[in-house]
Amino acid sequence: MVRKIYRLIEDSDAESHDLMCVIDESGEDYLYPATFFVPIEVPRVAAKAFSKTSG
């Protein structure tokens, strides 16, 4: 089981096909089945830290 946090791009067309648009480590976005992911709420302080490292 991989435990990583990925940023998502809202894409209603992808969502209508049960897909999620995910930005990977390279900064590229790809479509994956929504069942591959579990949505989480990231605390504001963590979101700030992530945004500083996601160049």
Q: What is the DSSP string of 10-53?
A: --HHHHTTTEEEEE-TTS-EEEEEGGG----PPPHHHHHHHHHH
Residue 11 lies in a domain: yes
Report the pLDDT value the prediction gives residue 37, as an integer from 0 to 100: 92
Residue 22 lies in a domain: yes
pTM (two decimals): 0.70
Instruction: Give 36-41's long-range contacts (Cβ < 8 A, gap of 24+).
Output: 37/6, 40/5
Instruction: Give the pair of three-digit tokens for residue 39.
Output: 């949505």
Residue 38 lies in a domain: yes
Report the pLDDT value the prediction gives residue 50, as an integer from 0 to 100: 75
Residue 46 lies in a domain: yes
Report the pLDDT value the prediction gives residue 13, as an integer from 0 to 100: 97
Give the count of domains, the chain.
Answer: 1
Residue 1 lies in a domain: no
Per residue in 1-52, pLDDT tens?
668 888 899 999 999 999 999 998 899 999 999 999 998 988 989 888 877 6
For residue 19, what are the domain limits?
7-53
